[in-house]
Structure formats: structure tokens, C-alpha cells
A and B are shown apart, each in its own frame.
Chain A
């Protein structure tokens, strides 16, 4: 079945450093969604990318969708302690009507 992998699994940064997580799908995606889950919380939708090569920004967060629509990245500039959490990408399953979530990247930010 379709698989969505994310790297790294875990990253620990100092506040102010940049952070990037990469998402790779085994199949072409019609769109990619990103979610953030704070410790002890639930996943919260951040953004959706649809077009090949699309780049979207939300303040310090930059999201990219690959040209082949099989990969995506999330870059955080100058991390803050509020960025702590696990970031998931998710893409629609090609065969079934459901989202397949990536393995997640856990970000820890030290002040």
C-alpha cells in the first residue's frame, strides 16, 4: 500500500535555529496536507498544497510541494519554544478514500 515517510524522526534544536522536515510518498499525491500535534494534544491542520512546485508561507513556516508531487517539506525559520510538537504530513490514498499520514517528525526546542 501507499507509504508516506518523514525524516528526521526527531530533532532537537536551540531556540533561534532553523528546522526542516521532509516528507516522501511512495506514490504521486493529488495534494499534501500538514498537521501539527503539540505534546499531549491532537493533530491540528496547518495547510494544504495542491500544485506541483507550490510554495506557501505562514509567518516563519514555509511549505513546499515537490515538482513530481511525491515529496514535500516544512521549514521553520528561527524556531521558538512554541514550535515544539510533532509535525505530520498526509496525502490522499490513491486507492481508497482516506488520508495516509506520514510517520511524523518530533521537534524539541530548547530555550
Chain B
């Protein structure tokens, strides 16, 4: 089975721009979660999608949003980028819920200048 894939792998943006990241889960997995990883804050939960519905949300501002398509693929959008948004964005899929074992993708490294 193919693993979780994320595109793009690297991205450079400037402040004020917006960005869309994509994630394709493992086939058969219906839950997709997004995490932000920074050296100072560790792994922070952004949100989880299941059957095209956002099921959980972390403590991030409304500039961070996402969606899930009928094929379970998910996208994450960050609007009005700030310098502090520079991070590794990880997508993880699981069979049922985000409390279960998470299978992570390689991540998208975002640099905001």
C-alpha cells in the first residue's frame, strides 16, 4: 500500500500571501489530520477531517482552514501568511479517528519571508 503523500514538499512564500497544501491518505483511511511542527512548539494539532467533515480543531486562528474531498484527499489553506507560520506541516491518516495510530506523510516545509 502506498503511504501518505503530501505536495508540495517545499514552499517559499512572503508575508500576506496564502498557501494551499495537499495530502493524499493511505488507501482506505478516512481520517486525515494536520499538524504543525516547529522547533519551539513541537507537534501541534491543527484539525482533523473525516468523511468530508471537520471533526476536531486545534487552537489555531481562523487563517488556518482545510477541507476533505470525497476520495479522502485533504487540503489545508493558510491565508495572510505571517513569519511565524514557517514550519513543517504534517498530514497524517488513520482508519477511523485521530486518536488512533497516525501514519504521517513526509510533510511540507513552508518558509515565510
Contacts and interface: CB of A to CB of B under 8 A. Distances in A.
Interface of A: 33, 35, 41-45, 48, 88, 90, 92-93, 96-104
Contacts of B90: 42-43
Interface residues of B, number: 21
Contacts of A43: 43, 90, 92, 102, 104
Contacts, number: 51
Query: Chain B at the A interface: mostly helix, strand, loop or mixed?
Result: strand
Given A42-B90, A42-B107, A43-B90, A99 B102 contact: yes
B63 to A, nearest CB: 20
Contacts of B43: 43, 88, 101, 104
B92 to A, nearest CB: 8
Interface stretch (B14-22, B70-78, B93-101): B93-101
B23 to A, nearest CB: 12
B56 interface: yes
Nearest to B43: A101
